[in-house]
Chain A
């Protein structure tokens, strides 16, 4: 169901005003996409504060552009569009000279049920280049196709295949060496 259809359904069934309908539709989109988006931003940027900021900014940008194109998007397109906004915002931050992987935030991020596994992933992501982190996350966690990744990152679909292969190979080497170190 598209966002426009959701809004139309609400309009037909209740007497609430238009802004409330929009907010309800937004709530469902937010609930479905906010956590994956935050996890993506956190692991690609390596900074909790940046991930928090960018999640808010991404949705503000999304809501600022509530035109017919956005309203007609289905669930997958909306998700892809949100990831694209977030990726562009992240790139803007990097261009402005903001760094990735704040060491102060590291401790908080690695403490969990299995700390060793968490450290593996954190170290692996830290050692990878930003683009490799993006591609791996979008392909392996979000399950996006090469075409979808190309749309999100602004790279050509043909280059995604090769870049993803290199990123995966590098990540596998890092993961193995991290696991050997922690044993």
Chain B
């Protein structure tokens, strides 16, 4: 199915060292002749391509990789902040629900632990908490949309 000297033939083509016996074998072996023809065509093509093409500088690739690495590090670092953002939204939702419920209680329903005297202070406290948490989250998680300087 396959000539056992094929690997040797290809190696000889790469190194340029070919024994007399191998040379004699190649003359009588169609598989090895084919292998040599294909390998020579491909290797010639490869050397032509290598000479003609201009690749980007290593520094450019390095810079791109560094940018990518920094972006990945930033994504990892902001994972905690994203979790905090979700927690903040849940906290704000619960707070609003509780506030609505408390205000409804003030209008006639009874809320344990909340009387009319402490309601104002509670609402102000909750409002400030929402303001601080919200502004903090906004500042931390806002997208930087400044125009790029070209």
Genuine A/B complex = yes
Q: Which residues of B contact A38 (CB under 8 A)?
A: 49, 53, 55
Residue of B nearest to A170 (CB): B38
8 Å CB contact of A117 from B2, B41, B46: B41
Contact A60 B50 (CB under 8 A): no
When A60-B65, A112-B52, A121-B42 are in contact, do A27 and B58 touch as well, CB less than 8 Å? yes
Measured between beta carbons, the chain A residues less than 8 angstroms from B48 are 112-113, 118
Main secondary structure of the interface of B (DSSP, over half): helix
B42 with A23: CB separation less than 8 A: no
> Quick one: which of B37-78 are within 8 Å of A by CB?
37-39, 41-46, 48-50, 52-53, 55-56, 58-59, 61-62, 64-66, 68-69, 72
How far is B65's CA from A30's CA once the two chains are assembled, in angstroms?
13
Q: How far is the CA of A165 from the CA of B56 in the complex (A)?
A: 36
Interface bin, chain B: 20 to 34
Please measure, in the bound complex, the distance between the C-alpha atom of A52 and the C-alpha atom of B10, giving whole angstroms: 29
Q: Given the known A-B contacts A31-B58, A139-B10, are A64 and B68 also in contact in the complex, defined by CB atoms under 8 Å?
A: yes
Main secondary structure of the interface of A (DSSP, over half): helix
* Interface status of B17 (Cβ within 8 A of chain A): no
Is the Cβ of B38 less than 8 Å from the Cβ of A35?
no
Known contacts A121-B45, A172-B37, A56 near B50 by CB under 8 Å: no
Number of A-B contacts (CB under 8 A): 102
Query: A165 near B1 (CB under 8 angstroms)?
Result: yes
Contact B62 A63 (CB under 8 A): yes
B130 at interface by CB-CB < 8 Å: no
Rounded to whole Å, the gap between the CB of A67 and the closest CB of chain B is: 13
| B123-149 contact mask (Cβ, 8 Å, vs A): 1 or 0 | 000000000000000000000000000
Considering the chains assembled together, what is the distance between the CA atoms of A120 and B14 in angstroms? 21
Return chain A residues, CB-CB under 8 Å to B59: 23, 27
Residue of B whose beta carbon sits closest to that of A139? B10
Name B residues whose Cβ lies closer than 8 Å to a Cβ of A.
1-2, 10-11, 14, 34-35, 37-39, 41-46, 48-50, 52-53, 55-56, 58-59, 61-62, 64-66, 68-69, 72
28 A–B contacts from the bound complex (CB under 8 Å): A23-B58, A23-B59, A26-B62, A31-B58, A35-B53, A35-B55, A38-B55, A39-B49, A39-B53, A43-B45, A59-B61, A59-B65, A63-B61, A63-B66, A64-B72, A118-B45, A118-B48, A121-B45, A124-B41, A137-B42, A140-B10, A140-B35, A140-B42, A140-B43, A141-B39, A141-B43, A172-B38, A175-B38
Chain A positions near chain B (C-beta within 8 angstroms):
23, 26-27, 30-31, 34-36, 38-39, 42-43, 52, 55-56, 59-60, 63-64, 112-113, 117-118, 120-121, 124, 136-137, 139-141, 143, 161, 165, 168-169, 171-172, 175-176
